[in-house]
């Protein structure tokens, strides 16, 4: 039997690459969303004091398929990143079911899906920057 992964997130910035790096794990409840969104916005604000946030890399390799509410919250944030921040988003995931969910959301959010982080980073670095 597969061990349950504790739900969590980690958010880091790479100012030299104008990149927000997000890692999410486990099955989330709606109670996790306010803290998660607040941390994302806080880190974007830190990047904005420098050159800005033009790239978002989301690692979902340990992130199972989520409830519709959680998936839609991620989608809304990616749309916000694209339309209000001007950031391109690359998502790394391996789960077939999660990829199906993410592909449906990609039609709305406009993110790209990758099997590994090096490919996602390579794509992000080819995306234009705002300034």
- pLDDT tens by residue, 89-120: 999 988 776 767 667 666 666 688 899 999 99
Integer CA distances (angstroms), 17 to 31, 32, 75, 101, in order:
31, 28, 23, 28
pTM for the predicted model, two decimal places: 0.88
* Residue 113, pLDDT score: 87
Query: First-to-last CA distance in the chain?
Result: 50
**Dist CA 39 CA 96 (whole Å):** 28
Give percent of the chain with pLDDT exceeding 90: 53
Report pLDDT digits (tens) over 55-75: 999 999 888 888 989 988 988
Whether residue 4 has pLDDT greater than 50? yes
* Residue 131, pLDDT score: 62
CATH superfamily of 8-125: STAS domain (3.30.750.24)
* Residue 3, pLDDT score: 60
Report pLDDT digits (tens) over 46-59: 999 988 999 999 99
Q: By the 8 A CB rule, do 40 and 77 touch? A: yes
Going across the sheet that includes 8-14, the strands are 8-14, 19-25, 55-62, 88-92, 112-114
* Residue 1, pLDDT score: 42
Whether residue 10 has pLDDT greater than 90? yes
């Amino acid at each position: 039997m597969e061990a349950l992964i504790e739900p969590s997130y980690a958010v880091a910035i790479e100012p030299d690459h104008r990149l927000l790096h997000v890692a999410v794990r486990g099955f989330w409840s709606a109670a996790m969303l306010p803290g998660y969104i607040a941390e994302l916005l806080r880190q974007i604000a830190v990047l904005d004091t420098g050159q800005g946030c033009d790239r978002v890399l989301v690692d979902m390799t340990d992130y199972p398929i989520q409830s519709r509410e959680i998936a839609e919250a991620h989608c809304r944030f990616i749309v916000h990143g694209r339309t209000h921040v001007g950031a391109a988003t690359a998502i790394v995931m391996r789960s077939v079911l999660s990829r199906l969910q993410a592909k449906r959301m990609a039609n709305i959010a406009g993110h790209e899906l990758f099997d590994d982080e090096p490919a996602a980073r390579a794509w992000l670095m080819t995306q234009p920057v705002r300034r």
